[in-house]
Amino acid sequence: MQNRYYDGGGMEEEKPRLLLMGLRRSGRSSIANVVFNKLPPSDTLYLESTRDINKERMHSFMDFQVWDIPAGVSYLDAPDQDIDGIFSSVGALIWVIDAQDEYFTAIQRLNDTILYLCRRYHSPQHPDNPFDGMPHIEVFVHKVDGLSDDFRADVFRDIQQRILDDVADHGFDAAPIHFYSTSIYDATIFEAFSKVIQRLVPQLPALENLLNGLCSKTGVEKAYLFDVCTKIYIASDTTPGDITQYETCSDLIDVVVDISEIYGWERPDPEPGSFEEKMLAQETGNSDAEAMITMERRGAKCLYLREVNKYLALVCIMAVDDPAEKRAMVEYNMRVFARGVNQVFEVRPRLMEDAEL
Amino acid sequence: PPAKRMKPRKVLLMGKSGAGKSSMRTIVFSNYVARDVRRLGATIDVEHSNIRFLGNLFLNLWDCGGQDGFMDNYLTPAAAGGQRESVFANVAVLIFVFDIESREFVADVANFAAVVGALADCSGTPGTRASRPSPQPKASDKSPASPATTAADTTSSSTVGKEAPKVFVLVHKMDLVPPAQRERLFAERAQHIRARAGPFAARTAFYATSIWDQSLYRAWTAIIHTLIPNADAIELLLQRLAAAIGARELILYERTTCLVVTSATRGAEQANPFGDRCERLSSILKTHKQSLARHTRSQPGSAHFRDFELRTSRFAWFVTRLTENTNLAVVLPPGEQLFNFARAGVAAARARFVELDVGGGGREVKGEG
Ligand SMILES: Nc1nc2c(ncn2[C@@H]2O[C@H](COP(=O)(O)OP(=O)(O)OP(=O)(O)O)[C@@H](O)[C@H]2O)c(=O)[nH]1
Ligand SMILES: Nc1nc2c(ncn2[C@@H]2O[C@H](COP(=O)(O)OP(=O)(O)O)[C@@H](O)[C@H]2O)c(=O)[nH]1
Ligand SMILES: [Mg+2]
């Protein structure tokens, strides 16, 4: 499995954009580097303060850009066309608040930004979707690892309340704002990013359907479709899940990627006539990586991973007691599923071609 | 017949308070996760742990609290009210941990010199005790062990005829040093420390470590390796098995700690660009074990997988249990037929490894009992 797709090349403006905003030292660059560059969380201590807007383009199952916008950029005072330059074709605005610090200033700035956007996008003539086209505001209550469980919940509620109250006071109750509590030291940041990205995936309902179908057919308890590089999941079946399930599945990706890295190196051709050469002449390996782990404890779950394409992998938790027995059935269904996913992602270009005819 | 119980091997873990000794111990042997160790309190006096490693190899690990008062007490002879003799006698391995962040490096080194001095007094030095002529007995069942060597190995607490202790120095918390400076700083420190290692200077092994990456496993794999009496015989058997089933690589590791006992590599795999893959695997597998434990809400010690298969276009891999305390990781060329063949081969070889498990895993090697 490949595990890097970073590409610093030129920006294509029409790609959906994720803006990372927040006060100085709030943790924006840390988040971007941990999620998209695999930087170990403890190494974020060495990150330097961001001076200019830092744009990175991600190539994956869909292309998008991540812009790290330093607190010093005073976009709200800029002329309108410049502001449009920042906010047009924005998929999501992620606002990072340092929950370990005094957060009133951060909330103040965020509220200014939200109100500005609400005024700009609000169209009362469309009562069913009055904020059509407005980027989703994703508030990350961040660095919660440093807080006790109780205090964490209090801080989260307090921040959420202050923001929603202010927005409601101005009559924008229905504005698209979502809250997450996050830390780069655990899975919460990946879970939050997954939810943010899922709002930008037009194929989400189709993918969820496929995953639900897979679960009901094969006794899968929980299934995720992962972007392998970032360990963001772009869809999951719709049964309620918990974060330990996500962690278990994303940890399996780590193991598979790590072992694949160690043993997937390009070897010289085997010696002619050797045992290995004869074996390799007869058959080839899996074109898509496949992994399965069964536990020793009776009744424990079994983990399964299958590469779906260059970027995506299906990972699931199953309650299979004797996988050997069900193996053929599982494999068959997983293959069908992989084909289904690839069809979902091909539909759009084909429709567009049709339209051009 | 009851298993021949080997005498536990005594391992001293020393260094200044806060250096990271207990963190390492709990991560390697007690299934803590790196981020959990922040909750550990200071170690008061000595914390003993008896750790059952392979089969009947028992480690008796002394985690010696490093606060100044305790250190003085360890170094003071019994006659003057201290514990010098009891702490430093019969030591198989001394692990001394230096905190890279310490502002008192000079004092730390002086402490190290005093500890090494006490060790030489009570457990002997390579010079004086290398006098034992016979090499390590090969536990291979083919070569009959001479009675002399067997006797030497089982001699009781008397220091005569036993091997001198080995000294490992770990320069720890390297993650706190910016990556570009790590190598130079480590070399510098190692040089200063070696100069004060007295009779052990030439044979002290140095490792740069951090609980946050696989460097921890590199050091501990080396430490454990010196304690396994029949590592050579196990390796030989692995080599034969690898050839028989057409494996590219076999890695035998201990199930609880995931430390690699030994491995065998064949053909082109010897050119694998990841020279550190054994400690990487320890770290990967251990991390994963903990993740599984979290998900199944079981004790990390009991979260073992029965089986782990991975097939890609370039290689196939499986892990299976080999003996009571070991798992075997098998790396193969891709292909279903070879995969099934190798599985059968490993299953058939299991009995041979059970016999070799240190101490015989309950069974004596035939011909000696
Ligand atoms: N405890 C904790 N610290 C974090 C977390 N995320 C980031 N940090 C720390 O917060 C500090 C600032 O992080 P940066 O990512 O540089 O913040 P930034 O928002 O990019 O800051 P500027 O670029 O200076 O505006 C660093 O020391 C990070 O290690 C977190 O989840 N928990
Ligand atoms: N950054 C970093 N901190 C570490 C490392 N190992 C241990 N620590 C921290 O050092 C502190 C003291 O560790 P402890 O094991 O109690 O030290 P001991 O007194 O030698 O047993 C703890 O807060 C650990 O979290 C490491 O490799 N890197
Ligand atoms: Mg920054």
Tell me the three-class secondary structure of A146-211, residue by residue: HCCHHHHHHHHHHHHHHHHHHHHHCCCCCCCEEEEEECCCCCHHHHHHHHHHHCCCCCHHHHHHHH
User: Residues of B with CB below 8 A from A247's CB?
Assistant: 291, 294-295
The mean per-residue pLDDT over the stretch A68-93 comes to 71
A48 falls in which pLDDT band (50, 70, 90)?
confident
- CA-proximal residue: ligand 1, atom 8 (nearest): A27
- Point out the ligand nearest to the CA of residue B25: 2
Give the side-chain half-sphere CA count within 13 A for B150.
9
B129 falls in which pLDDT band (50, 70, 90)?
very low
Is the CB–ligand 2 distance for residue B19 below 6 Å? Answer: yes
The pLDDT value recorded for residue A85 is: 65
pLDDT in tens, A114-130: 998 888 888 878 777 88
The partner residues of B328 in beta bridges, in order of sequence, read B252, B320
Query: Nearest CB to A293: which of B212, B302, B308?
Result: B308
pLDDT in tens, A76-87: 666 665 666 667
Query: Nearest CB to A264: which of B285, B312, B336?
Result: B312
- C-beta of residue B270 within 8 angstroms of C-beta of residue B290: no
Average pLDDT, chain A: 83
| A40 C-beta neighbours (distance < 10 Å), count | 12
- C-beta of residue A18 within 8 angstroms of C-beta of residue A66: yes
Q: Does A137 touch chain B (CB under 8 A)?
A: no
Q: Does A51 touch chain B (CB under 8 A)?
A: no
Per DSSP, the three-state class of B199 is helix
Between residues B224 and A355, the one the model is more confident about:
B224
Q: Where are the alpha helices (DSSP H) in chain B?
A: 21-29, 68-75, 84-88, 105-123, 126-129, 147-154, 179-195, 215-227, 231-245, 277-296, 336-356
- Point out the ligand nearest to the CA of residue B27: 2
Residue found under tokens 């030989």: B236
- Ranked by mean pLDDT, the top range of A267-276, B150-159, B226-235 is B226-235
The mean per-residue pLDDT over the stretch A27-47 comes to 89
Q: Where are the alpha helices (DSSP H) in A40-103?
A: 80-87
Element (H, E) at A223: strand A220-227
Q: Which range, of A164-178, A310-324, B138-152, B257-271, averages the lowest pLDDT?
A: B138-152
Q: Does A148 touch chain B (CB under 8 A)?
A: no
Rounded CA-CA distance A103/A151 in Å is: 14
The pLDDT value recorded for residue B35 is: 65
B301 falls in which pLDDT band (50, 70, 90)?
low
Residue B177 in tokens: 């040093």
The pLDDT value recorded for residue B298 is: 67
Rounded CA-CA distance B115/B87 in Å is: 10
Contacts of A343 (CB under 8 A, 6+ apart): none
Measure CA B86 to chain center: 23
- C-beta of residue A26 within 8 angstroms of C-beta of residue A107: no
Query: Nearest CB to B312: which of A244, A280, A289?
Result: A289
Q: Decide if pLDDT at A357 tops 70.
A: no
Between residues A250 and A272, the one the model is more confident about:
A250
User: Residues of B with CB below 8 A from A256's CB?
Assistant: 310
Rounded CA-CA distance A185/A220 in Å is: 29
Between residues B336 and B155, the one the model is more confident about:
B336
Between residues A252 and B8, the one the model is more confident about:
A252
Q: Decide if pLDDT at A6 tops 70.
A: no
CA of B26 from ligand 2 middle (Å) equals 11
Is the CB–ligand 2 distance for residue B175 below 6 Å? Answer: yes
Minimal-distance CA residue of chain A relative to B305: A295
Between residues B214 and A13, the one the model is more confident about:
B214
Percent of chain B with pLDDT over 70: 79
A322 falls in which pLDDT band (50, 70, 90)?
low
Contact state of A295 with B306 under an 8 Å Cβ cutoff = yes
CA of B154 from ligand 2 middle (Å) equals 37
The mean per-residue pLDDT over the stretch A49-59 comes to 81
The mean per-residue pLDDT over the stretch A293-312 comes to 82
Pocket of ligand 1 (CB under 6 A): A 22, 24-30, 44-45, 47, 49-50, 70-71, 142-143, 145-146, 183-185
Between residues A215 and B132, the one the model is more confident about:
A215
CA of A25 from ligand 1 middle (Å) equals 5
The pair phi, psi for residue B271, each rounded to 5°, is: -95, 10
The pLDDT value recorded for residue B153 is: 39
The pLDDT value recorded for residue A249 is: 92
pLDDT in tens, B71-102: 888 888 888 888 888 888 889 999 999 999 99
A14 falls in which pLDDT band (50, 70, 90)?
low
Contact state of B316 with A285 under an 8 Å Cβ cutoff = yes
Q: Decide if pLDDT at A19 tops 60.
A: yes
- Ranked by mean pLDDT, the top range of B8-22, B237-251, B276-290 is B237-251
A38 falls in which pLDDT band (50, 70, 90)?
confident
The mean per-residue pLDDT over the stretch B197-213 comes to 91
Is the CB–ligand 2 distance for residue B265 below 6 Å? Answer: no
Q: Decide if pLDDT at A154 tops 70.
A: yes
Q: Does A287 touch chain B (CB under 8 A)?
A: yes
The pLDDT value recorded for residue A111 is: 92
The pLDDT value recorded for residue B364 is: 35
- For B134, which DSSP code? S
Q: Does B313 touch chain A (CB under 8 A)?
A: yes
Q: Which range, of A101-105, B144-148, B325-329, averages the lowest pLDDT?
A: B144-148
Minimal-distance CA residue of chain B relative to A323: B307
The pLDDT value recorded for residue B340 is: 92
CA distances from A284 to A264, B312, B334 (A): 14, 10, 6
The pLDDT value recorded for residue B141 is: 37
Is the CB–ligand 2 distance for residue B34 below 6 Å? Answer: no
Residue A88 in tokens: 């047009």
Q: Which range, of A7-16, A260-269, B287-296, B315-324, averages the lowest pLDDT?
A: A7-16
Planar angle of CA A209, A340, A256, nearest 5 degrees:
95
Contact state of B307 with A256 under an 8 Å Cβ cutoff = no
Q: Decide if pLDDT at A185 tops 80.
A: yes
Contacts of A350 (CB under 8 A, 6+ apart): none
Planar angle of CA A112, A114, A116, nearest 5 degrees:
65
Nearest of B81, B74, B170, B69 to residue B122 by alpha carbon: B74
Question: For residue A26, which atom of ligand 1 is closest to its CA?
Answer: 19
Q: Does B337 touch chain A (CB under 8 A)?
A: yes
Contact state of A290 with B310 under an 8 Å Cβ cutoff = yes
pLDDT in tens, B12-30: 999 988 899 888 888 888 7
Contact state of B306 with A294 under an 8 Å Cβ cutoff = yes
The pLDDT value recorded for residue B369 is: 28
- CA-proximal residue: ligand 1, atom 12 (nearest): A25
A323 falls in which pLDDT band (50, 70, 90)?
low
- pTM for the model stands at 0.77
- Point out the ligand nearest to the CA of residue B209: 2
The pLDDT value recorded for residue B39 is: 66
Percent of chain A with pLDDT over 90: 37
Per DSSP, the three-state class of B208 is strand
Q: Which residues of A154-175 are buried (b: 16+ CB within 10 A; e: fewer)?
A: ebbeebbebbeebbeeeebeeb
The pLDDT value recorded for residue A122 is: 84
Q: Which range, of A10-14, A176-180, B53-57, B172-176, averages the lowest pLDDT?
A: A10-14
Nearest of B114, B319, B91, B121 to residue B223 by alpha carbon: B91
Rounded CA-CA distance B181/A80 in Å is: 47
A97 falls in which pLDDT band (50, 70, 90)?
very high
